[in-house]
Structure 1
Amino acid sequence: MDRDWLDGYSMQNLSNHWIFDPFKVLLTSEQVDFWIIHLNGFALDFSIGFFLIYNRTRPYALCVLCLFHITNSRLFTIGMFPYVCLATMPIFCDANWPRKVLKIFSASKSAVKDNDQDKKCTTSLLPAEANRAKQKVKKLKGAPTYTLKIGWKHKVVGFLLISHIGLQAFLPYSHFITKGYNNWTNGLYGYSWDMMVHTWDTVMAVVKVVDHETGQEHFLDPEAWVQTDRWEKHADMLIQYAQCLKSNLLNGVSTNDYRLSKNISIYVDIWCSLNGRFQQRMFDPRVDLLTADWSPIKEVSWLMPLLTEFSSWRKQITKLEKEIYSWSEYSDVIFVADFPGNLQGIQIILYLIFIFLSVFHKGKVIPWHN
């Protein structure tokens, strides 16, 4: 249960997808985002398991779950995940569900053999048949009973199964041990239960390489040598990225214009927003990633804290964005927050005729241009 999800900030603007167009006949896009996606999504995750348990509610729950997985397959690029979920839905059904399905869709009743164990006998027994049944019961009562012996193989399988279940239940809460993998959200990426709860919006990522022998500064394309931007949000990936970047630069740069010495430093300045908050620095831009301290069990000292004290501004930010975007199709706006005493600047390249700068909170801003 996450507050940002219940407040409707986790999956903003998802209602723009065509799959939600039927809801827009009666609701606005903002109402679809809040009521249909966030609140109904929360109600579905919270209650669907209980409806799948009972036979009376299971058919309706399976229909809703089927629509949910099909919707996810259209909304997100998550590979085979929704289709695997669709294929595993029969796990919640009774063991004899294939016979029931075949009986419904079969052309003749003889195609499916009746299973007497799955049916309650509704016909009355004749006296002779009743006597034979009683005799069988007496024989069964006098028959010897056998107990299942639990061998070492059963114990090993049971231990492995319990260990696996315990590990999967523990990993989402293991962030108090694996502190080095935490960022603004706690938990190992790939082993967390907060799927789709956090929306990241990176407005700028600056990669700076400083050659200490020449004193020159070089700015690189952050998309060079990488296929995704996931490294921008995780400290361990940043360390790996910096090491790979150094190796590629020293081994690949051979032109006279861009000769680098081995004495270099790599800095990054990443501005990111979490769930509609202000854009802010995520990592300290003054830390050299080639010499930065990082450990899986220690907190990342150069991770900048999330400015949660400005979370209440998100409603005002949404209103201002809606107003500014209505001015023109070329209008744009960015909301930035920084830390007290931070003299580092943010570079925004804008090809606009009119630029307005407003200060909402305490601080001093000095605009400049090259």
Structure 2
Amino acid sequence: MKRGDRDRTFSVLVRRRSVQPLKQLQDWLWQPVDIAFLVYFRIAFGSILLWEVQRYFNHGWIQAYWMNPAFNFTYPGFGWVQPWPGNGLIWHFALLGVLALFIVLGCFYRLSTLLFFLGFTYIFLLEQARYLNHFYLICLLSFLLIGLPAHRLCSIDVLRQPKLLSQTAPAWTLWLLRFQIGVPYFYGGIAKLNGDWLRGEPMRLWLSSSTDLPLIGRFFTAEWMVYLLSYSGLLLDLLIVPLLIWRQTRLIAFVFAVLFHLTNAKLFVIGIFPWFMIAATALFFPPSWPRQAVAVLLNIPVKASTTAIAPQRYRALITSCLLIYVSVQCLLPLRHYLYPGNVSWTEEGHRFAWHMKLRDKQGRAEFLGRDPATQVVKSLPPEQFLASWQIRKMAGRPDMVLQFAHYLAKTVPTQGDQPLEVRARVWVSLNGRPAQLLIDPLVDLAQEQRSLRPADWILPLEEPLKPATSQSNDVTSP
């Protein structure tokens, strides 16, 4: 064989070997699985979100959180997202409820999931002080549902268009949902690998205020209970996904996950999150389990279909999109490692990183405005501009303090053309530490720009964690 022929043969072999793993991945992702799990998740997702919308109407939260405040904290780059005028938000939430019902019924499914994603994400972006990890998770899952064929069985869409009926779905739909549900667990566990959590804080603080809980509340002041709950939460977050994937440990892992979420629902006020995660964690059972459960309940024989999926035109494109999405979800929660300091103190990179119920932060903020023309300095109490729940959230979050300082500079009039100078004295206690200044009180925050770069006006955390017997939540300035 000539040298040129050998080179061409070698090149062909290299290309084949490089293409083979991608082809194997595509074949695995497109294997047919029972679609019953998708129908179950569609119904569970829509039902829980319908319940959530109803809670906002019943408690008057729409008015309290978005309509009544004169100022809303927005996310960087999304200052253009503003509340609807008049009663627009009331109608907006009513539409979300209708869309959630349509998702349950599988009615105009693609349009309903698209509009629900846009509508819920709009609400999420309206108020940074209302950031919750499970709201972020709902945004992501509603986005994923747009592309999942969850309407191809047990839906009004199938009644309208029988050709949509399918008993199977590609395996990637199952594993994509499992991945997205597993991400909060895993990164929630990674976040707990810090000195405070390993020493029992802030669990010790939280349990000390729940001693009136029946039966077990009397043990909440015992150190063994503090460490039991701290380390069991850490281990469950880190190990629950592999234990759910492994068939031999799946059932016991699911039982522990249910007990974990029920405990959280009892100890903390975290809304629908425990119930949502219990429902979502059931996706780790075999995809045909909802079909089998219906068969048992109705006492009828139901056999899961294994019909092969017809070849699809865009498998390579979909596979590439899946890899990009998974990569982003794996890397985004790690961005706080690019910032100096304790992320629970600086908050830089804290959001979208699945740091759930991880720190106890108590703060008090004072703002001073100085007119450059008259040199007059006056106090600017946040209570005059913000709701009490906004103040509580803002006091421990430097980026929100900065945004409020910008608002004061634009709102409070001055005698000359120069804008108001705004300085803040913010005292914060993290996980029971003595309170210390969070922000340099000499910096004119009105001149500091909102940026993704590390903020040099955030003071480093210097107060050590006190021994367990002497922790307090005192945030008064010395």
TM-score by length of 1: 0.65
Shift of 1:103: 4.5
Is the contact between residue 265 and residue 274 of structure 2 (CA under 8 Å) also seen in structure 1?
A: yes
1:173 paired residue among 334, 338, 355: 334
Match of 2:467 in 1: 314
CA shift, 1:211, in A, is 2.1
Q: Is the contact made by 1:281 and 1:304 (CA closer than 8 Å) also made in structure 2?
A: yes
Q: 2:281 aligns with which of 89, 97, 101?
A: 89
- Unmatched 5+ residue regions in structure 1? 118-145, 251-258, 322-332, 337-345, 349-370
Question: After superposition, where does 1:254-293 map in structure 2 within 5 Å?
Answer: 261-263=416-418, 264-292=420-448
Among candidates 282, 296, 310, match of residue 452 of structure 2? 296
Q: Work out the number of aligned pairs and report it.
A: 280
1:166 CA drift (Å) = 0.4
Task: Give the corresponding residue for 2:301.
Answer: 112
Return the offset for 1:181: 12
Match of 1:62 among 254, 266, 276: 254
CA deviations 1:163-221 (Å, max 9, x no partner) are: 1110011111123557799673565232113322222111x311111223333221122
1:1-370 to 2 correspondence within 5 Å?
A: 1-15=193-207, 16-17=209-210, 20-24=213-217, 27-31=219-223, 34-106=226-298, 109=299, 111-113=300-302, 151=313, 153-175=314-336, 184-185=345-346, 187-202=348-363, 204-227=364-387, 228=390, 229-250=392-413, 261-263=416-418, 264-292=420-448, 295-297=451-453, 299-307=454-462, 310-311=464-465, 313-315=466-468, 317-318=470-471, 334=474, 346=477
CA distance in 1, matches of 2:230, 2:304: 45
Q: CA deviation at 1:261?
A: 4.9
Distance in 2 of aligned mates of 1:28 and 1:80: 25
- Check the 8 A contact 1:52/1:92 in 2, yes or no: yes
| Change beyond 3 A, Cα 1:115–1:296 | closer
Greater relative contact order, per chain length (Cα 8 Å cut-off, separation 6+): 2
Q: Aligned to 2:264, what secondary structure does the other structure show?
A: helix
Instruction: Please state which structure has a larger fraction of its residues in helix.
Output: 2
Report the RMSD for the aligned CA atoms in angstroms: 3.4
Residues 224 and 260 from structure 1, CA distance in 2 versus in 1: closer, same or farther, beyond 3 angstroms?
farther
User: In the superposition, relative to structure 1, how do residues 181 and 14 fare at CA in structure 2: closer, same or farther (>3 Å)?
Assistant: closer
Distance in 2, Cα, partners of 1:115 & 1:268: 63
Whole-Å separation in 1 of the counterparts to 2:427 and 2:340: 22
Note if contact 1:265-1:289 (Cα within 8 Å) is conserved in structure 2: yes
Q: Which amino acid aligns with 2:455?
A: V
CA contact 2:422–2:444 (8 Å) conserved in 1: yes
Give the greater-gyration-radius structure (CA): 1
Deviation at residue 18 of structure 1 after TM alignment: 6.6
Name structure 2 gaps, 5 residues minimum: 1-192
After superposition, what is the alpha-carbon deviation per residue over 1:39-76, rounded to whole angstroms, capped at 9, x for unaligned?
22123223322332233432332222223223333443
Same amino acid, percent of matched pairs: 24
Q: Tell me how far apart the structure 2 counterparts of residues 200 and 150 of structure 1 sit (CA, whole Å).
A: 51
Deviation at 1:77, TM superposition (A): 3.7
Matched AA of 2:393: R
**AA partner of residue 211 (structure 1):** D
Contact conserved, 2:440 with 2:457, CA < 8 A, in 1? yes
Q: Contact conserved, 2:332 with 2:353, CA < 8 A, in 1?
A: yes
Distance 2:440 2:305 in 1: 71
TM-score calculated relative to the size of structure 2: 0.51
Deviation at 1:232, TM superposition (A): 3.0
> After superposition, what is the alpha-carbon deviation per residue over 1:213-246, rounded to whole angstroms, capped at 9, x for unaligned?
3332211222333341333333432332112112
Q: Secondary structure at the match of 2:412?
A: helix
Partner Cα separation in structure 2 for residue 55 and residue 12 of structure 1: 35
* Distance in 1, Cα, partners of 2:212 & 2:349: 31
